[in-house]
Amino acid sequence: MSQTNHQPIRVLFVCLGNICRSPLAEGVFRKLVDEAGLSAHFEIDSAGTGPWHVGESADRRMQRTARRHGVDLSGHVARQLGREDLARYDHIYVMDRENLEDVLRLDRDGRFRHKVELFRTFDPEPGDGEVPDPYYGGERGFEEVYQIVERTARRLLEHLVSLYKLKETADLSR
């Protein structure tokens, strides 16, 4: 695949409520893209499969964890995934199998199934393939999720740089 300068690669991260895992993945991925000098090539967003937190900020515990690692989630506003997102985004990365089922349920005719996959597909230490939900856990759970998301986002960026032949522009050495 090659990418033109006119059309960004659209990446969407999805979890249940869009206040913990998916905003973190969006923020970490955006930071890595910025550091690689590839911001002009990407459009990055996140959403939740459920409506419970629409309009809310990212969870304070997740914001605190992210901030400790230089990732700012303060501007995040939770939103719910819509059917139109399936058509709009080139890649949709979900945090767990329940999210995967919910996203695929929106794709009634199966046209967008090829765009949707588990985020941890790219994790060098994939465990059970899911990013655990830290919402009901303590601080340690948020840090664990950060570590999972950071290493997975790094590999995901390497994959997309290769897929879209962006190597000549990218600085992935950071």
The CATH number that applies at residue 129 is 3.40.50.2300
- Identify whether 20 is a catalytic site residue: no
In a domain, 3, yes or no: no
The verdict on residue 171 lying in a domain is no
Q: Which residue has the higher pLDDT, 168 or 114?
A: 114
Please report whether residue 174 resides in a domain.
Answer: no
User: Residue 95 in contact with residue 128, Cβ under 8 Å?
Assistant: no
C-alpha–C-alpha distance, residues 1 and 66, integer Å: 32
Q: What is the pLDDT of residue 3?
A: 47
pLDDT reported for residue 167: 74
Counted domains in the chain: 1
pLDDT tens for residues 29-44?
Answer: 999 999 999 999 999 9
Please check whether residue 95 lies inside any domain of the structure: yes
pLDDT at residue 154 is higher than 70: yes
50: domain range?
A: 9-163
pLDDT band of residue 174 (cuts 50, 70, 90) is low
pLDDT(145) > 90: yes
Length of the chain: 174
Q: What is the pLDDT of residues 11-22, one digit of tens each?
A: 999 999 999 999
Supply the pLDDT for residue 137. 80
Is 59 a residue of the active site?
no
Tokens 């997740």 sit at which residue? 62
Residue 27: both structure tokens together: 């923020």
Residue pLDDT, tens place only, 81-107: 999 999 999 999 999 999 999 999 999
Task: Flag whether 46 is in a domain.
Answer: yes
- 147 has pLDDT over 80: yes
Can you tell me which residue has the tokens 């970490």? 28
Q: Which of 45, 59, 96, 133 is catalytic?
A: 133
Q: What is the mean pLDDT of residues 95-120?
A: 97
pLDDT of residue 2: 46
Tell me whether residue 4 is in a domain. Answer: no
Catalytic residue among 20, 21, 59, 120: 21
Residue type, 10: R
What is the average pLDDT across 36-59?
Answer: 97
Q: What value does the mean pLDDT of the chain take?
A: 94
For residue 88, with 0-12 CB atoms within 10 Å meaning exposed, 13-18 middle and 19 or more buried, which class applies?
A: middle
Residue 121 lies in a domain: yes
In the set 15, 30, 96, 154, the catalytic residue is 15
In a domain, 94, yes or no: yes
Count of C-beta atoms within a 10 Å radius of residue 2: 7
Question: Residues 73-83: pLDDT tens digits?
Answer: 999 999 999 99
Over residues 59-69, the mean pLDDT reads 98
Asked if residues 5 and 84 have their Cβ atoms less than 8 Å apart, the reply is no
Residue with tokens 């459920």: 50
